[in-house]
Chains A and B, each alone.
Chain A
Amino acid sequence: MRKYTIIGPLLLILIWAIIVHLQLVDKFFLPDPWTVIGRLFEVIWNGSILGDLFSTLERVVLAFVVSLIVGLPLGLWLGRSEKVYRSVEFIIDFFRSTPASALFPLFLLIFGITDKSKIAVAAFASMLIIIFNTAYGVMHAKKSRILAAQIMGATKAQIFRWILFWESLPQTFIGLRSAVSLSLVIIVLTEMFIGTPSGLGRKIIDSQITYEIPTMYAIIILTGIIGYILNLLFLVAEKRVLHWNGK
């Protein structure tokens, strides 16, 4: 089935080429796919984009790691007691529903115009998603295995370590995957709208302002590819760790 994956991108490029060929839009604002793909290889080959790429990746990874370190234990802990989770549910849902971009000014006030504020806002939003999913995974764990362990005389700590944690993993992984995607979105967004010397978001805005349209498209595609690869990495990890899921 893997070979069918390629059909989608090819179809997209074909439609793009047809639109440009029929001159349905101004060629200046939508160059043909070959120009854009050529530019993408060019900026990678001559290394001019690598600095921005690594800055963005570094921020995304940092934001994700911070959200994981804070969010995972917090989610596991909150999920253990439905009462505790319900008491903080409103805070989590409220900030989860607030567009993270609306929080930029707040984080700018706290952290200043630094990398820290970009990473903090991305980590904050990702953390909420990880907390929410992990806590739900723990709360909605199947009761049958927990009962079995209780009958065997397991302590609460043993049940948590050997059963609840594992029962919650499938839902936790959904959270991690959404969180890493969201981290990328917010980091690129902050790079576009909060000043930064380097980063893919900054490059996109710069190419737009200077009308380097092929470069702009090339970097947009590059960010898409990164998002896709990050998602794919998590799917592969998920398949390995959760080989037992649904069986």
Chain B
Amino acid sequence: MIAAISVNNLGKSYNQTELLKDFNLDIEAGKITVIFGPNGSGKSTLLNILSGIVNKDAGSYHIKDFNHFQFSYIFQNYRESLLPWRKNFDNVALPLEIQNKSRQEIKQRVEELQKLFDFKFNWEHYPYELSGGQQQILAFIRALVTEPKILFVDEPFSALDYENNLRLREHLQKYYLAFKPTILLVTHNIEEAVHLADKIIVLSKRPTQVLEIIDNPLPYPRTLQSLKDEQFHQVKDKVLSAFQKATNL
């Protein structure tokens, strides 16, 4: 296995509460890894440490060939990460403007994604004129427009209705199959986890440890039909059993 991300003995406390202690994890390159765990197990904190916006207390981590221009992070609170003073198009253009790409090239990249995902947007409008679901799709496109090699996703679908949720899962898989990035996704929705993951990492309660790593052999692309598949339920049962151990429910 080629590890794209390796975490060694990572430690992090908040107000004397040990969130992560001697935490170890390897994330395989070119796969979708889903981190699934109880509330407060430090899932988001792990992503924040790895992306460099939160400091670690102990241990180390390494991300292979890390480069800000080929790394994207989709936040949970998309509403607060979009720029309301920019039109929809200029929001999507932001990461490419940061990379000093020409307007021409930005337009081309957006069109490519538009073709891949087959979505429609009124580019001349502002984000606040969109519904919550559309805003999240906008944040999603903004993250993918740079064609990241590593993608972090923090509960991106939690605020969406079921239909938009399924649509975004479809988009994510399309992008994954086209570009084969390393995707690290955090969720507390078991269906989402099994639907998307190559590997599901189940975490324990605090101080957080990896409880179990479950492989998911379901072939991509996974459709609505996959949700009814016998194999889907077998994997889901395994995850559920591991989660039971984590929570003593």
Interface residues of A (CB under 8 A from B): 142, 144-145, 147-155, 158, 162-163, 166, 169, 243-245, 247
1/0 per residue, CB under 8 A from A, across B65-85: the answer is 001110111010100110111
Please state if B77 and A152 are interface contacts (CB–CB under 8 Å).
no
Interface residues of B (CB under 8 A from A): 51-53, 67-69, 71-73, 75, 77, 80-81, 83-85, 94-95, 97-99, 126, 128, 146
In the assembled complex, the Cα of A150 lies from the Cα of B69 at a distance in Å of 11
Collect the chain A residues with CB atoms within 8 Å of residue B98's CB: 149, 152-155, 158
In the assembled complex, the Cα of A152 lies from the Cα of B71 at a distance in Å of 7
Instruction: Knowing that A162-B97, A166-B85 touch, tell me 6 more A-B residue pairs with CB under 8 angstroms.
Output: A145-B81, A152-B95, A153-B69, A155-B98, A166-B83, A244-B84
Collect the chain A residues with CB atoms within 8 Å of residue B75's CB: 144, 148
Residues of A contacting B: mostly: helix
Q: How many residue pairs between the two chains, A and B, have CB atoms under 8 Å in the bound complex? A: 57
In the assembled complex, the Cα of A151 lies from the Cα of B146 at a distance in Å of 12
Please state if B84 and A149 are interface contacts (CB–CB under 8 Å).
no
In the assembled complex, the Cα of A154 lies from the Cα of B99 at a distance in Å of 8
Please state if A153 and B84 are interface contacts (CB–CB under 8 Å).
no
In the assembled complex, the Cα of A215 lies from the Cα of B80 at a distance in Å of 55
Collect the chain A residues with CB atoms within 8 Å of residue B128's CB: 244, 247
In the assembled complex, the Cα of A145 lies from the Cα of B128 at a distance in Å of 15
In the assembled complex, the Cα of A150 lies from the Cα of B81 at a distance in Å of 12
Please state if B53 and A150 are interface contacts (CB–CB under 8 Å).
yes
Collect the chain A residues with CB atoms within 8 Å of residue B77's CB: 144
Collect the chain B residues with CB atoms within 8 Å of residue A145's CB: 80-81, 83
Task: Give the residue name and chain of the A residue nearest to B139 (CB).
Answer: A148
Please state if A151 and B83 are interface contacts (CB–CB under 8 Å).
no
Collect the chain A residues with CB atoms within 8 Å of residue B80's CB: 142, 144-145
With A142-B80, A144-B75, A145-B83 as known contacts, state yes or no: A152 contacts B51, CB within 8 Å.
no
Please state if A162 and B83 are interface contacts (CB–CB under 8 Å).
yes
Would you give 6 A-B contacts (Cβ < 8 Å), ordered by A?
A144-B81, A151-B68, A151-B73, A152-B69, A152-B72, A166-B85
Please state if B126 and A244 are interface contacts (CB–CB under 8 Å).
yes
Task: Give the residue name and chain of the A residue nearest to B146 (CB).
Answer: A152
In the assembled complex, the Cα of A59 lies from the Cα of B84 at a distance in Å of 37
With A148-B75, A158-B98, A244-B126 as known contacts, state yes or no: A153 contacts B81, CB within 8 Å.
no
Collect the chain A residues with CB atoms within 8 Å of residue B72's CB: 151-152
In the assembled complex, the Cα of A86 lies from the Cα of B198 at a distance in Å of 51
Collect the chain B residues with CB atoms within 8 Å of residue A144's CB: 75, 77, 80-81
In the assembled complex, the Cα of A38 lies from the Cα of B95 at a distance in Å of 62
Collect the chain B residues with CB atoms within 8 Å of residue A166's CB: 83, 85
Task: Give the residue name and chain of the B residue nearest to A151 (CB).
Answer: B73
Collect the chain B residues with CB atoms within 8 Å of residue A150's CB: 53
With A153-B99, A244-B84, A244-B85 as known contacts, state yes or no: A162 contacts B94, CB within 8 Å.
yes
In the assembled complex, the Cα of A127 lies from the Cα of B149 at a distance in Å of 48
